[in-house]
Amino acid sequence: MLDDFRENLSSLASTELALYNELALLVQKEGECVRSGDLDCLLSILVEKQDVISRQELVQEGWNTICTGLGLSEGRDGPVFWEKVASLLGPDGTDDLKASLAVIRDVAGSVLEEEQEVQTLLEEHVADLRKEMLRLNRGKKAVHGYYKSGGSF
């Protein structure tokens, strides 16, 4: 039971960190797409980011399940959670988990900062991206019209 608990906590922390690292890479790519004005790339990255965010929500559900299993109504950041974890894992296990979560918070903070920079950059490039979207839309309409008129490639 205790080994399963320890493994579940470790797995959740590892998965959460991996997802934040994946999100960090996607935010970097997103910035590159915005800088280059590549709308297709940007849209693709946004889809990938949504997938990562969905998986992060599942990890959060895992943390909530752990808390519920411990009989707690608060999340992992509350003092009651840490008291319960300390009683089960002891000081070393608790310190290891706290260290893992501190790394996650640092990475998440960095991702948030870079995301804000990309949003600022996106706002600066929004006029160019709108022009590109209109161009793509016109191209799609032209192809659709070509097919409607009986054309083929």
User: For 26-62, how does the pLDDT look when each residue is reduced to its tens digit (9 = 90+)?
Assistant: 999 999 999 888 888 999 999 999 999 999 999 999 9
Please list, in sequence order, all residues whose beta carbon lies within 8 angstroms of the beta carbon of residue 121, skipping any fewer than 6 positions away.
31, 34, 35
pLDDT in the model for residue 37: 83
* Residue 153 pLDDT > 60: no
pLDDT in the model for residue 38: 87
- Structural domain including 84 reads 1-150
Question: Model-level pTM greater than 0.85?
Answer: no
Q: How far apart are CA 126 and CA 47, in angstroms?
A: 19
pLDDT in the model for residue 73: 86
* Residue 14 pLDDT > 90: yes
Mean pLDDT for 120-130 is 79
With bands split at pLDDT 50, 70 and 90, how would you rate the model's confidence at 13?
A: very high
More confident residue, 48 or 153: 48
Q: What is the CATH number of the domain that holds 134?
A: 1.20.58
pLDDT in the model for residue 135: 76
* pLDDT tens readout for residues 68-123: 999 998 888 889 999 999 999 999 999 999 999 999 999 999 999 999 999 999 88
Number of structural domains (the chain) is 1
